[in-house]
Structure 1
Amino acid sequence: MTFKRVMKFLGLLFGFLAGVTAVIVAWFTRRMVAPARQPLWATPSEMGLAFENVQFPAKDGVRLSGWFIPAAGSERGGASIILVHGWAWNRLGDAAGDLLADLSGMTPVELLRLAHALHYEGYHVLMFDLRNHGESAAQPPVTFGLTEANDLLGAIAYMETRPEVNAKRLGVIGFSMGANALLYALPQTIAVCAAIAVQPTTISSFAEAYATDLMGLPGRVILPLVEAAYTAISGVRLTALQPAFAAAGAGATPVLFIQCKEDPWGSMEDANRLAAATPLGEGPLYVDGSHHYQGYQYLVENPRIAVAYFEQYF
C-alpha cells in the first residue's frame, strides 16, 4: 500500500513539474518569437522637444513607426543619429516594469534622455520601433538582429530622403539586439559614417548565461527545450545567429563597442571577439558594473561619450 502511495505521489510530482516546465518553455519561446509589446510611455514633447511622427518601410517592406527629432541648431550641418533599441523594448528603451524585470534586476533604460542630449548637441535624431516591437508591424519571428537589420537599412534609406539630413554625416547607436542589427546591416550599406554598438552579443551564449543567472541549474535543463521550440517555430537555430560573421564585412565604418565588465548575461570574451571581427572595431570600452543593464545605462548617463566619438568622424 505504501509503495502504491509513493508511486502515486511521484507520478503527481512528475506531472506537476512537467506542467510547470511546459508553461515556462511556452512563455520564454513566445517571448523570443514575438515578445509582448511595451506601450510608449512618453513622447519627445514631454522633454520640450519638437518631433514628427514618421512611418517608413524596412528594406523588405515591413511598416516601421518612429519619431524624427530635428536638431536644435544647424551648426553640425545636418549630422544625424539613428537610435536602435533592444529585444522586447521599444523606441523609448525599456520600462523594466514587469515581474521578469523585478526577478532579473533590470532597470529602466530611457533612450529619450540620450535623444534629448544628442538633439541639443546639434544632431537630428531618429527613434523608431523595430518590427514586432512598439507600434511597428508584426513580422515574426524575432531573429535577434538578422532580419532586424532590414529595419535599420530602411531607417537609413528614410533619413536619406529628408532634405535637412546630410546623408554623408549619418551615425547609428544600437543597443543589444539593435547593436546586433547594426553589425548585420553594415555589410549591406556604406551610408553609416560611424557607429556605436552597446553590448551586442552572440545570442546562443547570451541565452545560456541568461537562463543560468535567472534560474540556476533548472535554467540549463529548460534552455535546450526553449531553443528546440524556437527553432521549430521560427526555422532558425540560435547557434546559426553569428553577428561576428557579419561584422567581418563591416568595411570602412568605425564601430565603438561598449560592454559592462561583470555582465552576468554577456562576457568580455564575446565582446572582444565581436570587436576583433569588425575591421574598424574600436574598444571594447569596458564600463564598471555587475549587471547587464548597467552597460546600457552608461551611454544614457554619459552622452558626451557618443558626441565625442561621432565628432571624430563627422
Structure 2
Amino acid sequence: MFGKMVSDMMVKPGKSPVFETPTKFGLDYEDVSFKASDGVTLSGWLVKGGSDKVIVQSHFGVQCSRCGFTQEGKGIMKNALWTSDIHFLNHAKYLVDAGYSVLMYDMRNHGDSEHNGWVSWGLEERKDVVAALKFVSEHPVYVSANIGLLSICMGQGASTFAFGMEDMAQFKNLKTMISVQPLTYDYFVKALGLPNFLIEAGNRYNKSKRNITLNGDSFLPYVKDITVPTLVIQNSNDPMTNLDMVQQYYDALQVDKELLMLELEKKRGATYSWVGTNPTPILGWLNKYMD
C-alpha cells in the first residue's frame, strides 16, 4: 500500500494537462506530432518566429506539460512547487520576439502525448528529446537553422541521458543547451521529507510492479558526454535539491559553461517562473552561441 502511494506520487502520469494555448499569448503556431524511435507518438506546438534559429523545449516531469504547470488537481503539490500557475508561453513569447521559433512538446506520459507506461525521470524520455531534435532538423523550414535546447529539470535529465546514450552527433546544427535546475530522483524524494521506509517501499514497488529503477546518480555519469556550451540555472534556495549535486553536474561539464545561481523564494518552481520573466540572461546566452 505505502509503496504504491509513493510510486504514484513520483512516476504516475496523467497530472499534466495542456491547460492553455499560444493563442492566448498572441503567438502564431501549428499543432505538430512526431514519433520517437520506439514508436511513441509525441504531441506539441511549433511556435513560429524566425526560420534560422529554433529552441527545443523539454519540460519538467509528472506535474508539467509543454505549457507549464497548473495548480488545479495537484493535491499536496499545489503549493509545494509554486504559489500559482507557471506559464512557459511567457518565455516562448520573448523568444519569438527575439527571432526564435520554439518547439514545445509533451514528453511521453505527459500532456497530450501518448501514455505508454510510467515516468522514468529522463531515461526513457531521452528518446523524446532525440525525436524532437530530429523533427526540427528535418523540417523544411528549419533544416538549416541553428538549434538550442531549453531543458528543464527532468527535461535536462532526458537531454543529458541523450548525450550519453544516443547519437547526438547527427544534429550538426545543435549549438547550445540551457539546463534549468538539474535534479536526480533520489535527492528529490529525500527533500520531500519522507521516512526511509517509505522511500524504500516506493523503490521496491517501482522495480517489482512497474519495472523502473530510480536511484543512484541517474544522469550524472553522462554529463561528461554533453558536447555543446551549457548554461546551468539554479535557485540557491531551492528546497527540493542538493546544491552539491548541482555543483557536481556543473563541474563535470567539459564544454564552455556558466552557472547562474539565483536567490529566489524558497520554492523549486520559483526558477521556472523566473525564466518566463527574465529574458536578458536567457537571450544573452542563446545569442552568443546561436547567432
TM-score above 0.5, yes or no: yes
Alignment of 1:151-166 (within 5 A): 151-166=128-143
C-alpha distance in 1 between matches for 2:23 and 2:97: 14
1:35 equivalent in structure 2: 13
Instruction: Note the residue ranges of structure 2 that are not aligned, 5 or more in a row.
Output: none
The Cα of 1:200 is off from its aligned counterpart by 1.3
**1:259 equivalent among 234, 238, 258:** 234
**What is the distance in 2 between the residues matched to 1:143 and 1:149?**
10
CA offset at residue 166 of structure 1?
4.8
What's the counterpart of residue 175 of structure 2?
193
| CA–CA separation in structure 2 for the residues paired with 1:43 and 1:62 | 23
Q: CA deviation at 1:138?
A: 1.4
Amino acid at match of 2:60: G
Offset of residue 228 of structure 1: 1.4
SS of the residue corresponding to residue 130 of structure 1 reads: coil
Q: Which residue of 2 aligns with 1:225?
A: 201
| Number of positions where the alignment pairs a residue of Structure 1 with one of Structure 2 | 281
* 1:136-285 equivalence runs, <5 A: 136-187=113-164, 188-190=167-169, 191=171, 192-210=174-192, 212=193, 219-240=195-216, 242-251=218-227, 253-280=228-255, 282-285=257-260
Which has more helix, going by share of residues? 1
Q: 2: CA distance between counterparts of 1:279 and 1:150?
A: 23
Deviation string for 1:12-49 (max 9, x for gaps)? xxxxxxxxxx3x54233123333223222111111111
Distance 1:103 1:115, change over 3 A: closer
Identity of aligned residues (%): 25
Q: Which one-letter code corresponds to 2:184 in the other structure? A: T
Alignment deviations for residues 79-134 of structure 1 (CA, whole Å, 9 cap, x no partner): 00011111121101111232223352533221011111111110011000000000
SS in 2 for 1:193: strand
Q: 2:32 aligns with which of 54, 59, 63?
A: 54
CA distance in 2, matches of 1:268, 1:242: 16
Contact 1:79 1:166 in 2 (8 A): no
Alpha-carbon offset, residue 240 of structure 1: 4.6
Q: Is the 8 A contact 1:144 1:203 kept in 2?
A: yes
Supply the AA of the counterpart residue of 1:247.
V
RMSD: 1.8
SS at match of 1:248: helix
The aligned runs of 1:102-117 (5 Å cut-off) are 102=78, 104-107=80-83, 108-117=85-94
Match of 1:313 in 2: 289
- Give 1:230 deviation, angstroms: 1.2
- Which structure has more relative contact order (CA 8 Å, sep 6+)? It is 2
- One-letter identity of the residue aligned with 1:31: M
**What is the TM-score with the length of structure 2 in the denominator?**
0.90
What secondary structure, in the 3-state scheme, does the structure 2 residue paired with 1:235 have? coil
Give 1:96's aligned residue. 71
**Maintained 8 Å contact 1:148/1:181:** yes
Q: What is the identity, as a one-letter code, of the residue corresponding to 2:54?
A: S
Deviating 4+ runs (over 3 angstroms): 218-221
1:82 maps onto 2:56 in alignment: yes
Q: TM-score, normalised by structure 1?
A: 0.84
Q: Residue 9 of structure 1 aligns with which residue?
A: none
Unaligned runs of 5+ in 1: 1-21, 213-217
